[in-house]
Structures are given as structure tokens and as C-alpha cells.
Amino acid sequence: MSVIDAVRAPGNTVARSTGDLVRRRFGGRSAARIYAAVLLTLGVAAIHFAAAAGHLAEYLPYGIFFIGLGLAQVGLAVATVVAPSRRLFIGAAIATTGVIALWVVSRITGLPVARDPWRPEIPGMMDMSATLLEIITVVLFGLLIPTPRKPKARGRTRIALTALPAVPLTLLAGWMAVGAVLHPMAAAFSAAPAVAGQATTSVADLVAAPGNEPLRAFTLTAGVVNIGGRQAWAFNGTVPGPELRVTQGDRVRVTLVNRLPDSTSIHWHGIRLPNAEDGVSGVTQNAVRPGSSYVYEFIAGDVGTYWYHTHQDTLYQLPLGLYGPLVVMPRAGIAEHRDYMLTAHWSPDGTILVNGSRSLHLDATPGETVRLRIVNAVNEGLFGGNPIRPVLLGARYRVVALDGHDLNGPQEIGPERIQLGMGQRADLAFTMPPSGAVELAGLAGSSRVVIGDGPMPAAVKVDSLRVFDLTAYGEPAPDPVADAGSFDVTRDLELAGAPAFYNGTYDFSDTFSGYTSPNVPPITVREGQLVRLRIHNTTADKYHPIHIHGHVFTVLAKNGHPLTGSPVHVDAILAAPHETWDVAFKADNPGIWMLHCHVLGHAYAGMSMTINYEGISTPYTMGTDSGNVAE
């Protein structure tokens, strides 16, 4: 008997190779499972090393944890090849299950030890892939635990072929890991850095000029409160925050007091104000630290319905409750007898509320005129960005303003659904009928608002009602921007998205012409220029309300057809799937201004950029080093 034969002899305890050992002790099928588990474990380790790279800058203990985890997994892979044993398989299955459990907890409730304790992380493609591979390895290790009755011998080729499906998965994980490391989150990124040797004005100096306008002072204290048994982050303890109502021409001074565990800011959505007061963390200010306060001051120039909200870590903070309505009244008052603010928003249990309640009753008597100011603060989350489509039943009505800006000659319409993307507003006006109530319906779920008393309007199938068309409503009127005919700056913005490497991860992205924030080239303008944007939504299923800071869009055309009714001025244009909108604005407010999709998940996933005035720079930075996160 040769040496080789001796080694190969059945019952021999000296194995020539792991393959032999495994085949004899666990059977041929097990060898394939072992190799597959080893490959997948290495793939997961690669993703954990990539995660470590991102976390090292952000929160050192996590960086160390992920390096340790990756090393442990490499160790497990080696041990599985060198010394496979039933005990090792049991340990591997248990440990990997523990890692999966930790991931689940970190995504649902958050972990107690973290940079932000008990803050759930948003699941992404990369961590979900790692978890999927881990689940497969747990199954594989689990299958290796029971002793097979009669080990089935199998040839090497058969074993290799059975383990083969693990190869592409492992390569995919490795590719993701390498790509993520090569596209890190910027440590410090300036939207408009000062350039040495070039004189620039800092955004910090773009404040309201002193004057003796009537002063309206408010304090908004951001804090953690309990609303209906759930934790909310709120201004002055309520969600939505208090209604700020001022008169055109007032000097508005708001002191933000931060009693949150995290930094925050306030953005005055839709208001044209000096750049330094715009409230964008990392662009126009540093986020206000816990325990600190910050004063915003501006002159309320435009009448209308606006709102305010946090612009720090917005995807996380805003849905917790940091927003509220803001109204600028004309000096002469408004024509209607009744004036109600209706802020639509998500409740933590996933229904739409209006002013914090599911069903609201508003007073009005027959013959009275009523104005409803509807604000869409419903964040539709990471996915479609679907708008809300409220409709008024029981009275004909006029759409008197969009995004706070009056429409010219608005005529009465029947029950048409008013489509509002996240952040948009509409003012509706109507006269109470001689008898019966009026209902604002069409909000998701059972939420509704009833105005007046008496019998309710007849129920209708809301979904079949016409959607209001802002391109053909009201009376035409001259408009300096719409009538300009030529523009100094033009930019096409294609709204799209695909899985991509960005900000230290591989995930779905939402893009402006293929770019994700912070790499979208800014729109550079000079004061006095007319700027036209062509916004083309090429997605099949996403709604993108594209919002501009510090300026107002004049809507020029939809799908190439110019408007036929009233001029329309908005601070966000809702681009539905496959729609193209032409909008324009006059560059009349120097600064560095955000332009982004107002679906918070889309802005977070890359659909955010800035409009940069020549000669203006910002001393603030975004990125992991700064503590400023605009989206």
C-alpha cells in the first residue's frame, strides 16, 4: 500500500486535505456547504470592512466594532476550512444569528451604544445585502450541524459545482465593499468655498438691514415631548408647531432654543429672506447645538401661506415633528370671514393627520366666506414621494393661491382634487352653502375636515374626480419673468435615479442629471440674471417636488405647452413621472441657495444641489467632520 493509499484508506484519521476530512466526516454534500459558507462569510466581512471605513470618521467605537467583526468573520472562514467541526458550526450559526439580530435592532429601535443612542438607522442596500448573505450562512452552518446517517461520497467536481452559486454572491459583496470605500462620504464639503486671492462676500454677512419696521418676536423651543404615548420632537411642545402669523412688512425675529439631544436649525420655507437667515445647516449657518440658541430675523415681504421646519438632518428630524405653519397677512387683511390653517402631516402610526388630529371640525355659518390654507407637510418617505390630493365637497371653490402666491382671476371650480407635493401649499376660498356642512376629503385613510354644521355632503368616489390643472386656471396677466422670452442662464435637470455608490455606501440614489449631492454641479448665477430650468422627470413612478430656496419660480410650460391661465408663482414645482416643466426665476437675492427635491428621502438619496451667486462664499461646511447635515 502506498502512502497515498494509506492516507485515503477508509477510517484513517490523517486526512490528506480538508476536502477529504470533510468528505469523510460530514459527507460530500457538506463539503459544498462548507465552501459556500466560507465564501459568503468572506463577502460579509468585506462589507463590514467597508462599513468600518465610513464609521471610523463618524463614530470611532463603531469603526472599531466593524473592523473587529470583519476580522472575526475572516477568522471564522479560516477555521471552517482548516478545522471544521460540529462545534464550530454551532458557534458560527449562533454568532451570525447574533449579528443579524443586532442589525435588526439597529434598524428598528436603534442601539443604546451609538453616536445617537436609540436612533434607528435607515436600512440600505449594502447592509441588507450583508444581512441576506448572513442569513444564508446561518442556514448553511445549521445544515452542517446534524450528523448525516450515511455520509455520501462525492467527487471534487460535484462539490465545486454545488458550492458555485456562492461565488457570484461573494464577488458582488466584495465589489460593493470596494466601491463604497472608493466613494466615501465627504469629511468636509463646502457648497461655495472662499477662493484664496478672490474677494468674496460671506453668506454670514447677508442679513436683514436694520430698520424700524414693526417687530414681531417669537421664541420656538425645540424639545423632546410625549404626544399620545409616542416621543416627538416639537417646537413649543406641539406637532405641528405654533402658527406664526405676521403682517406684511413686519420685522420677524424668532429665537430658536435647542433643548433637543441633537443639533438643529429652522428654515423658513418659501419666504424670500436674506441668505444668512435661511436656516440650512452647513450652507447658511452651523447647526444650533443642544443647549444653545440662535436668532433669525427677516422682513416678511411676501403675503401668503408658508411654513417653517428643521433643515438639519431633515429626513430624520422633520418627521419627528419639527415643523409648523407661517402666515403673512396683507396689511388690509383678507376678504374672507374665516381663515383656517390646515397642516397635513404624518402621525407616527402612519396615518395622515390635519393639525394633529384625525377629524377636525371648523366653525362657519351659512353665507360666510372661508379660506383654507392647506400645507402638505406629509413626508411620503423614501419611495414614491406621492402627493396628497385633497378635495372640497359641498361647495364650489376657488384656488386663490399656490405656495402663498395669489392667482389672477381664479374662477369657481367643482370638486377637483388639489395635488400638493411635499412642502407645497394651496389656499382655497368658498362661501358656505345655505345649509349643510362642507368637507375636505381625499386625504389618505379616514382623515377629514368638516366645516360648518348640518348634513354632510353626499359621498363621492374621490379617486375618480378630476385633478386641478394649474396650467389652465384663472385669467392671463402680464408677468415680467414669463414674458421675458430669453434667459441668461439655462439648465436642464433630469430627475432620475439608480443604485449607485455614493456617501460611503451602495444604495438607491435619486439624481439631478446623473449626479448625487454633494457632487451636483451648482447653478452659477449673477445678480439680475434670468434663469430658466427645464425639469424633466424620467422616472416611471416617482413624484419630485423640486423646491428652490430664497426665490420664486414662475411656471413657464408643462410638457412644452405654455400656461394658458393665470401666471403661477411657486417655490416648488411638482414633477410627476414623465412630466417636463419649464420654470424660471430672477436672480435677485444673492447667496448660496438650496435647490432640492422636497421628498426628504429623495434629497437624502442625492437629489439636492445649490444655486451659487458669483462672488459669494460660505464659511460653513457639510460632511462628517462638521456636524452639519442639510438633508
Site of grid cell 477510517: 11
Residue whose C-alpha is closest to residue 372's, from 345, 346, 334: 334
Q: Which does residue 596 touch among ligand C2O, Cu ion, none (CB within 5 to 8 A, set by kind)?
A: ligand C2O
Q: From the CB of 265, what's the least distance to ligand C2O, in Å? A: 11
Considering only 602, 608, 610, 620, the residue that binds Cu ion (CB under 5 A) is 602
CB of 71 to ligand C2O, least distance (A): 42
Taking each continuous run of H as one helix and of E as one strand, the counts in the chain are 10, 34
Q: Residue 437 binds which entry of ligand C2O, Cu ion, none, with Cβ cut-offs from 5 to 8 Å by kind?
A: none
User: Do the beta carbons of residue 549 and residue 594 sit within 8 Å?
Assistant: yes
Query: 269 or 602: whose CB is closer to ligand C2O?
Result: 269
Within 284-323, which residues bind ligand C2O (CB under 6 A)? 309, 311
Residue 598 interface partner, choices ligand C2O, Cu ion, none, CB cut-off 5-8 Å depending on type = ligand C2O
* Type of residue at 611: I
Which CB, 103 or 233, lies closer to ligand C2O?
A: 233
Residues 374-433 that bind Cu ion (CB under 5 A): 385
- Distance from C-alpha of 563 to C-alpha of 167, rounded to nearest angstrom: 56
In the complex, the smallest distance separating the C-beta of residue 295 from ligand C2O, rounded to whole angstroms, is: 20
Return the one option of ligand C2O, Cu ion, none that residue 597 interacts with (CB less than 5 to 8 A, by type). Answer: Cu ion
Distance, CA of 337 to CA of 134 (rounded, Å): 63
Neighbours of 28 (CB within 10 A): 20
First-residue to last-residue Cα distance in the chain: 73
Window contacting ligand C2O (CB under 6 A); options: 77-85, 186-194, 490-498, 590-598 = 590-598
> For residue 553, what is its C-alpha cell?
419660480
Q: In the range 526-545, which residues lie near Cu ion by CB under 5 A?
A: 544
Q: Please name the residue that has the C-alpha cell 442629471.
A: 513
Of ligand C2O, Cu ion, none, which one sits near residue 29, judging by CB under 5 to 8 A according to partner kind?
Answer: none
Q: Which does 154 bind (CB under 5 to 8 A by kind): ligand C2O, Cu ion, none?
A: none
Adjacent-strand bridge partners of 575? 544
Interaction of residue 398 with ligand C2O, rule CB under 6 A: no
Interacting residues of 548 by C-beta distance below 8 A, sequence separation 6+: 571, 572, 585, 593, 594, 595, 611
Stretch that binds ligand C2O, among 87-95, 246-254, 522-530, 592-600 (CB under 6 A): 592-600
Residues forming a β-bridge with 330: none
The CA distance from 523 to 608, in Å, is: 12
Question: Could you tell me how many residues of this chain bind ligand C2O (CB under 6 A)?
Answer: 10
CA-CA-CA-CA torsion sign (618, 301, 298, 322)? negative
Cell numbers linked to 432: 358656505
Least distance (Å) between residue 311 CB and Cu ion: 16
H or E stretch at 544: strand 544-548
Inter-residue contact 18 to 140 (CB < 8 Å)? no
Cα–Cα dist 148/489, whole Å = 73
Put the strands of the sheet holding 572-575 in their side by side order.
Answer: 523-525, 608-613, 592-597, 544-548, 572-575
210 vs 208: CA distance, rounded Å: 6
Q: Please give the residues from 262 up to 291 whose contact with ligand C2O meets the rule CB under 6 A.
A: 267, 269
Quick one: 341 or 573, whose CB is closer to Cu ion?
573
Beta strands in 228-279 (DSSP E): 230-235, 244-247, 251-258, 267-269
Nearer to ligand C2O, 309 or 338 (CB): 309
Q: Residue 385 binds what, of Cu ion, ligand C2O, none (CB under 5 to 8 Å, by partner type)?
A: Cu ion
Between 54 and 423, CB nearer to Cu ion: 423
Give me the torsion for CA of 453, 457, 463, 465, rounded to 10°. Answer: -110
55 touches ligand C2O by CB under 6 A: no
By beta-carbon proximity to Cu ion, the closer residue of 23 and 602 is 602
Partner from ligand C2O, Cu ion, none contacting 602, C-beta within 5 to 8 A by type: Cu ion
* 3-class secondary structure, 82: helix
Span near ligand C2O by CB under 6 A; candidates 158-166, 254-262, 561-569, 593-601: 593-601
Query: How many CB atoms within 10 Å of residue 305?
Result: 25
Only one of the segments 14-22, 181-189, 584-592, 594-602 lies at the binding site for ligand C2O (rule: CB under 6 A); that segment is 594-602
Structure letter (DSSP) for residue 419? -
How far is the C-alpha of 104 from the C-alpha of 112, rounded, in Å? 13
- Out of 40, 437, 599, 605, point to the residue binding Cu ion (CB under 5 A): 599
Binding mask 546-585 for Cu ion (x = CB under 5 A): ----------------------------------------
- Which residue's C-beta sits nearest to ligand C2O? 269
Q: Min. distance of Cβ 623 from ligand C2O in angstroms? A: 18
Q: Is 423 in the site for ligand C2O (CB under 6 A)?
A: yes
> Hey, which residues between 526 and 555 contact ligand C2O (CB under 6 A)?
547, 549
CB of 575 to Cu ion, least distance (A): 8
Provide the binding-site residues for ligand C2O, judged by CB under 6 A.
Answer: 267, 269, 309, 311, 423, 547, 549, 594, 596, 598
Provide the binding-site residues for Cu ion, judged by CB under 5 A.
Answer: 385, 544, 597, 599, 602
